[in-house]
């Protein structure tokens, strides 16, 4: 029975060894020269104009949460598309109901102004 765990142990040892090896090599090879440009914060190629701890409008977070919610819900379309042949007409109707509920939620958020944060 313990022989069955040898491949798992070998896999874990290789993974840990690779992680340690990568960290050691990167520590040995990285440049140790620091200058003003390297120490500046970098945000998408744009020089930061304000402090990083400034407050953001709550609308920014609402749009981000709505994006995540609708993005996660649309991920449910992929498993449905894979087994569409097995689901037949019932699966098609159920997906239309799901999309209708998703669309109603999106329209509700749009009419409430949750998507207008800029």
pLDDT digits (tens, 9 = 90+) for 43-87: 666 666 777 678 877 778 888 888 888 888 888 888 888 888 898
Model pTM above 0.75 = no
- The pLDDT assigned to 18 comes to 98
Residue range 15-44: mean pLDDT, rounded? 85
How far apart (Å, rounded) are the C-alpha atoms in residues 85 and 67? 30
- The pLDDT assigned to 62 comes to 81
Residue range 5-29: mean pLDDT, rounded? 95
- The pLDDT assigned to 80 comes to 86
Q: What is the mean pLDDT of the chain?
A: 85
Domains and CATH numbers, the chain: 2-111 (1.20.58.1610)
Statement: residue 35 has pLDDT above 70: yes
Angle at 40 (CA atoms; ends 50, 62), nearest 5 degrees? 45
CA distances to 46, 92, 109 from 54, rounded to whole Å, are: 16, 47, 26
- The pLDDT assigned to 19 comes to 97
- The pLDDT assigned to 15 comes to 97
- The pLDDT assigned to 76 comes to 83
How far apart (Å, rounded) are the C-alpha atoms in residues 30 and 11? 28
Name the DSSP class of 40. S
């Amino acid at each position: 029975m313990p022989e069955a765990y040898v491949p798992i142990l070998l896999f874990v040892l290789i993974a840990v060894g690779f992680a340690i090896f990568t960290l050691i090599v990167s520590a040995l090879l990285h440049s140790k020269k620091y200058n003003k440009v390297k120490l500046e914060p970098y945000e998408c190629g744009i020089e930061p104009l304000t402090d990083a701890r400034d407050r953001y409008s709550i609308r920014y977070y609402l749009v981000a949460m709505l994006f995540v919610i609708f993005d996660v819900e649309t991920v449910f379309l992929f498993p449905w598309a894979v087994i569409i042949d097995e689901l037949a007409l019932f699966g098609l109707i159920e997906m239309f109901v799901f999309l209708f509920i998703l669309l109603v939620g999106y329209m509700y958020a749009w009419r409430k102004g949750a998507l207008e944060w800029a």
